[in-house]
Structure 1
Amino acid sequence: MFVVANFLLAIAKVADILLTIYLYIIIARAIISWVNPDPYNPIVNFLYRSTEPVLSRVRRILPDLGGLDLSPILVLVAIYFIQSFVIRTIYDFAFRMKLGTGAM
């Protein structure tokens, strides 16, 4: 069982790192949107291409607020929720498997 527990711990750690990186990418995208960036800049282009698929889905759900874009905030809240609940649940489950105290 320790192999499965270690595998779950590795998956949880990688997911946590990837979510943290994506969190910073979204923050950078929000900060960049406050200025008039050069759309041909490779960094700006990367920020837009990596965040637009998620942000556009959230924008479709949100009502029109007259130019106020709250989609980055909602995505950041969702990332924090996933990190605080889902990833921690996987960690706890894996540690219980490792200790042999049972899944419940």
Structure 2
Amino acid sequence: MNTLAGLINFLVYVLQLLIWVIIIQAVLSWLIAFNVVNMRNRFVAAVYDGLDRVLAPILQPIRRRLPDLGGIDVSPLVVILAIVLAQQLLQGLRLDLLAN
């Protein structure tokens, strides 16, 4: 049981890291959109491209299903809410395992 609880803790941790990666990508896209940082900077372009390659398979299916909101992308919010729900379910499962 401790091994399974440890695996659940690891999954919750990985999901939390994914939330932070999504937040960083969203903030970076806002900074680029408002010309605070410049995409001509190779480091910024590389970081943004890397984050986009990691998150595109997660965000694109949700973007296709959401209605057009006039340039506002709420898919990161939807993914974060789904991740938080998954974390809550995993933590509840872990508590059930530890109680038995």
TM-score normalised per structure 2:
0.82
Aligned to 1:83: 87
Higher Cα Rg, which structure: 1
Q: Deviations over 1:61-84 (max 9, x none)?
A: 111112110001111111111112
1:48 paired with 2:52, answer yes
Structure 1 segments unaligned to the other structure (5+ residues): 98-104
Letter in 2 for 1:22: L
Q: Is the 8 A contact 1:26 1:72 kept in 2?
A: yes
Deviating 4+ runs (over 6 angstroms): none
TM-score normalised per structure 1:
0.79
Counterparts in 2 of 1:20-99, with a 5 A limit?
Answer: 20-36=16-32, 37-38=38-39, 41-84=45-88, 86-97=89-100
**Aligned positions, number:** 92
More helix by share: 2
Secondary structure of 1:14's counterpart equals: helix
| Alpha-carbon distance in structure 1 between the residues aligned to 2:50 and 2:90 | 27
Q: Is the 8 A contact 1:23 1:79 kept in 2?
A: yes
| Alpha-carbon distance in structure 1 between the residues aligned to 2:11 and 2:39 | 32
